């Protein structure tokens, strides 16, 4: 039940944040009508704020199962909202680029997908390399302390 709930919770959270940023502060109808510049600012702010909030929530010790599940629910919502914010930016940027260049928007979407795939692959590989280095370091430390890891 919690797995299905995080999608609905994230959607409600994004609607609230969108209403605050785009409708209230910028007087737009929504992310699609504000332009790619404001969508970029929103995505950047959402990334920074949600990453900081998620990191703070992970550090807090939760005693009850209810509190642990609610923290996990919010952290999943933060990550989904960050992705949706960047997707909204990409959509408005591609739409805006289509007004200046006469070509099929499908090619813009394919270019964005290719770029995102390469960027995610690079970041994933970097993280895997760091994880392997950390594992080697931990094993070396354990061996130097005469601890055996199984």
Between 65-100 and 2-18, two packed helices, what is the crossing angle to 10 degrees?
A: 50
pTM higher than the cut 0.85: no
- Residue 43's pLDDT is what? 93
Higher pLDDT, 150 or 20: 20
In the predicted model, what is the mean pLDDT of residues 17-25? 92
Per-residue pLDDT reduced to its tens digit, 77-117 = 898 999 999 989 988 888 887 777 777 777 777 887 888 88
Question: What pLDDT is attached to residue 2?
Answer: 61
Cβ-contact 118, 125 below 8 angstroms = no
Torsion, Cα of 77, 82, 87, 90 (10° steps): 170
């Amino acid at each position: 039940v919690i797995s299905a709930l995080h999608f609905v919770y994230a959607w409600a959270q994004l609607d609230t944040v969108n209403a605050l940023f785009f409708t209230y502060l910028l007087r737009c109808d929504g992310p699609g009508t504000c332009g790619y510049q404001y969508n970029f600012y929103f995505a950047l702010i959402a990334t920074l704020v949600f990453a900081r909030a998620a990191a703070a929530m992970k550090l807090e010790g939760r005693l009850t199962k209810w509190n642990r599940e609610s923290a996990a629910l919010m952290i999943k919502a933060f990550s989904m909202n960050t992705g949706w914010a960047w997707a909204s930016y990409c959509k408005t940027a591609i739409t805006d680029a289509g007004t200046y260049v006469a070509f099929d928007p499908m090619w813009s979407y394919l270019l964005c997908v290719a770029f995102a795939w390469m960027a995610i692959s690079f970041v994933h590989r970097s993280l895997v390399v760091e994880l392997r280095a950390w594992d080697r370091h931990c094993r070396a430390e354990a061996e130097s302390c005469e601890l055996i890891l199984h």
